[in-house]
Amino acid sequence: MSIEIKNVTKEYGLQKALNEVTFTVKRGEILGFLGPNGAGKSTLMKIITCYIPPTSGTVIVDGYDVREDSLEIRKKVGYLPEHNPLYLDMYVKEYLSFIAGLHKLPKKKEKVSNVVELVGLEIEQNKRIGELSKGYKQRVGLAQALIHDPNVLILDEPTSGLDPNQLADIREVIKRIGKEKTVMFSSHIMQEVEAICDRIVIINRGNLLVDQDANQIMKASSDRQIVRVEFDQVVSKNELKQIDGVSKVTQLKGNEWEISSLQSQDLRASISKFAGAKGILVLSLQKETQKLENIFKDLTH
Ligand code: ADP
Ligand code: MG
């Protein structure tokens, strides 16, 4: 159940939302699809789920072409759209049973209770959707995406707007479900994909920037180092740049600096040495943990 995206371009009038995007989501993989707001994430997800056609290029889902076999693809794909549109007046089970009906599923009742269990909705299953917390509304959204037991799941910002506890819960659900399905989920937040993705694709302004193993990205990022330092007196940027191993120097404010290296060597030692030699005092010196977020910033600036 792979998704092959080849040279996909999407234009909305004069605006190009996707520009020749190519990558593959492999069978059984959890792919994190990242990019800032407006990058083109939702656009590509709508193309994969056959809600809008590409301007050019092809998308093949499990051997079926989105331009020709949309009915077939909709049977295989579960989709949680951005902003999760739900009928707030309906009861949870009533709504899920309605969705099961749209898919013309046999044994509706059984399907509903299975999916309620799968996403952990048991304790809220008899409520009206409008009465649920945001986290539980997302579970209802996941449940409607899963009810026909699709092999591919497309989740558009499934964790946006959740508090940290809800976020952790939904992550767990996605991780659990992802064991048996091909999952592509989008986010504009880095931390959450670090936790659960096998691979990461980053786009910005419709262009693909990164397509890599999550491990590789994490490794590359751990080789790089960022240190925040405060001196007791004025130091020039040029002096700091000459410190052994330093690749980038940014003044934060006054005598506070952010200094980064491309190698894994510890910058703190060389900064201390530099200060000692000049008779400057180091008031604070802190190593920043290098997060995907920083790579993201570097790439999208
Ligand atoms: P993301 O989901 O990454 O935030 P989108 O795919 O929603 O990005 O949007 C990509 C770009 O396309 C944005 O600049 C957005 O304004 C534009 N766009 C999205 N949908 C439409 C539309 N229906 N008509 C015109 N422009 C659109
Ligand atoms: Mg979006």
pLDDT digits (tens, 9 = 90+) for 158-172: 988 888 888 888 888
Which is the closest atom of ligand 1 to the Cα of 44?
Answer: 6
Residue where a domain stops, chosen among 219, 250, 281: 219
Residue where a domain stops, chosen among 179, 195, 219: 219
43 lines ligand 1 (CB under 6 A): yes
Query: What pLDDT sits at residue 289?
Result: 65
Query: What pLDDT sits at residue 219?
Result: 73
38 lines ligand 1 (CB under 6 A): yes
Report which protein residue has its CA nearest ligand 1's atom 7: 42
187 lines ligand 1 (CB under 6 A): no
Q: Are residues 107 and 31 in the same domain?
A: yes
Query: What pLDDT sits at residue 126?
Result: 95
161 lines ligand 1 (CB under 6 A): no
**Domain extent for 272:** 221-300
Question: Running along the chain, 301 residues long, what does each successive block of 10 average in pLDDT?
Answer: 95 96 95 93 98 97 95 94 90 96 94 93 94 92 95 92 83 87 89 82 94 82 82 94 89 93 80 93 84 70 65
pTM reported for the whole predicted model: 0.83
Q: Are residues 176 and 40 in the same domain?
A: yes
Could you give the CA distance from residue 147 to residue 142 in angstroms, rounded to a whole number? 9
Query: What pLDDT sits at residue 247?
Result: 87
Query: What pLDDT sits at residue 206?
Result: 97
Query: What pLDDT sits at residue 260?
Result: 87
Phi and psi at residue 72, in whole multiples of 5°? -60, -45
41 lines ligand 1 (CB under 6 A): yes
In total, how many domains does the chain have? 2
CA dihedral for 244, 249, 251, 257, sign (positive or negative) = negative
Ligand 1 center to 293 CA (angstroms): 22
Ligand 2 center to 207 CA (angstroms): 15
